Homo-oligomer: A and B are copies of this chain.
């Protein structure tokens, strides 16, 4: 990609938040990346500018028809001061798969990766270093054409913002309680569940609110067709260790193809722990739990990395998993993955990509 990124740095830097008070996605760095799309010009004017509001016509399609895509990935600073990204090319590839599903024109993947790296280099002093912290990167695309006809936009913006973050869950890696959702559905095959797009998250909020009122952190989603097969947990993929084998629902068109998910599978295979992707019913899971075969359960995602599940509630039947504690494999996966990410453990997979700063 020959197009060079124009960089306009800020004249007044913000004060950085304390590292133990970061929270998740609340504070943002000094700069952002923007690139525009118009039907007659393609993607153009890639630029890094001071972090600033987005100014849109009230008729911009993103406000009405939800034509928007996002990604989430993290950058880490090693004790030697190197800056590492975790499998960024995977996020950019998925961004383009989501774009395709939502009728958004594809991004040049090399330019998008270059944009990520350039923005990180400009704001590298924002990468936190304390345990559990990282720089969360949020690339997203929004439809900006001001027109109310229901069709794909002719104008878009691709934007990258970055937030220094602590643990996603206030609980940290402590086990969470999960409510198995029987009323609401997140996504269905043929829908947009595989894409990382706003509508799937909007669909999830109500169920999450109801679960929270009942004292649960997240919901476990069942499939929209049979209402019995396990899909995801909250906005994470989900794994179960049953009789020594780690199971996760097979990708079926309505489950997000998680990058942490695929990394976990690779790690387990590397350790010679049997891992299976298959269709999993909630009924079988509860049987396995009652027989003692279910040993561990955990969610996986970029934000939380590994989130152990300590309790499941399905139709008012409660299951305690791993005595409500973090299981052995869950803990080992968390330590290994975060160790590789921060460069304290060797990376045999070539996952980490160094950013020249």
Looking across the interface, which residue of chain B has its beta carbon closest to that of A72? Answer: B148
| Contact string against B for A residues 149-178, beta-carbon threshold 8 Å, 1 for contact and 0 otherwise | 111100000010101000010000000000
Segment of A54-62, A323-331, A343-351 in the binding face: A54-62
Q: Which of B28, B202, B235 interacts with A192 by CB under 8 Å?
A: B202
Q: Are A198 and B199 in contact (CB under 8 A)?
A: yes
Q: In the complex, which residues of chain B have a beta carbon less than 8 angstroms from the beta carbon of A101?
A: 206
Looking across the interface, which residue of chain B has its beta carbon closest to that of A226? Answer: B225
* Given A148-B136, A151-B208, A209-B152: A66 touches B188 (CB 8 Å cut-off): no
* Given A138-B64, A149-B25: A203 touches B191 (CB 8 Å cut-off): yes
A102 interface contact, C-beta 8 A: yes
Q: Shortest distance in angstroms between A302's beta carbon and chain B's nearest beta carbon?
A: 11
Q: Which residues in chain A, 17-61, are within 8 Å of chain B measured between CB atoms? A: 24-26, 28, 32, 51-60
Q: Shortest distance in angstroms between A93's beta carbon and chain B's nearest beta carbon?
A: 18
Q: Which of B148, B204, B227 interacts with A24 by CB under 8 Å?
A: B148
Q: Are B224 and A63 in contact (CB under 8 A)?
A: no
A215 interface contact, C-beta 8 A: no
Q: In the complex, which residues of chain B have a beta carbon less than 8 angstroms from the beta carbon of A112?
A: none
Q: In the complex, which residues of chain B have a beta carbon less than 8 angstroms from the beta carbon of A100?
A: 206
Q: Are A150 and B235 in contact (CB under 8 A)?
A: yes
Measured CA separation A58–B33 after assembly (Å): 11
Point out which of A24, A149, A188 has the most chain B C-beta atoms below 10 A from its C-beta: A188
A248 interface contact, C-beta 8 A: no
Looking across the interface, which residue of chain B has its beta carbon closest to that of A182? Answer: B190
Q: In the complex, which residues of chain B have a beta carbon less than 8 angstroms from the beta carbon of A189?
A: 185, 224
Point out which of A53, A140, A189, A191 has the most chain B C-beta atoms below 10 A from its C-beta: A191
Q: Are B208 and A203 in contact (CB under 8 A)?
A: no
Q: Are A138 and B142 in contact (CB under 8 A)?
A: no
Q: Are A25 and B148 in contact (CB under 8 A)?
A: yes
Q: Are A53 and B55 in contact (CB under 8 A)?
A: yes
Q: Are A66 and B199 in contact (CB under 8 A)?
A: yes
| Contact string against B for A residues 128-158, beta-carbon threshold 8 Å, 1 for contact and 0 otherwise | 0000000010101010001111111000000
Looking across the interface, which residue of chain B has its beta carbon closest to that of A25? Answer: B148
Q: Are B59 and A68 in contact (CB under 8 A)?
A: no
Q: In the complex, which residues of chain B have a beta carbon less than 8 angstroms from the beta carbon of A198?
A: 62-66, 198-199, 202
Q: Are B140 and A64 in contact (CB under 8 A)?
A: yes
Interface residues, chain A, with chain B CB atoms under 8 Å away:
24-26, 28, 32, 51-60, 62-68, 70, 72, 100-103, 136, 138, 140, 142, 146-152, 159, 161, 163, 168, 183-192, 197-206, 208-209, 224-225, 227, 234-235
A-B CB contact pairs (8 Å), 17 listed: A24-B149, A51-B58, A52-B58, A53-B55, A53-B56, A54-B55, A54-B56, A63-B68, A64-B70, A64-B198, A65-B198, A65-B202, A101-B206, A148-B163, A150-B201, A151-B205, A185-B188
Given A25-B147, A197-B202, 7 more A-B residue pairs with CB atoms under 8 Å apart are: A53-B57, A54-B55, A59-B161, A67-B201, A191-B224, A198-B198, A198-B199
Question: 8 smallest A-B Cβ distances: which pairs?
Answer: A199-B199, A25-B148, A66-B198, A185-B190, A66-B202, A65-B201, A188-B188, A188-B224
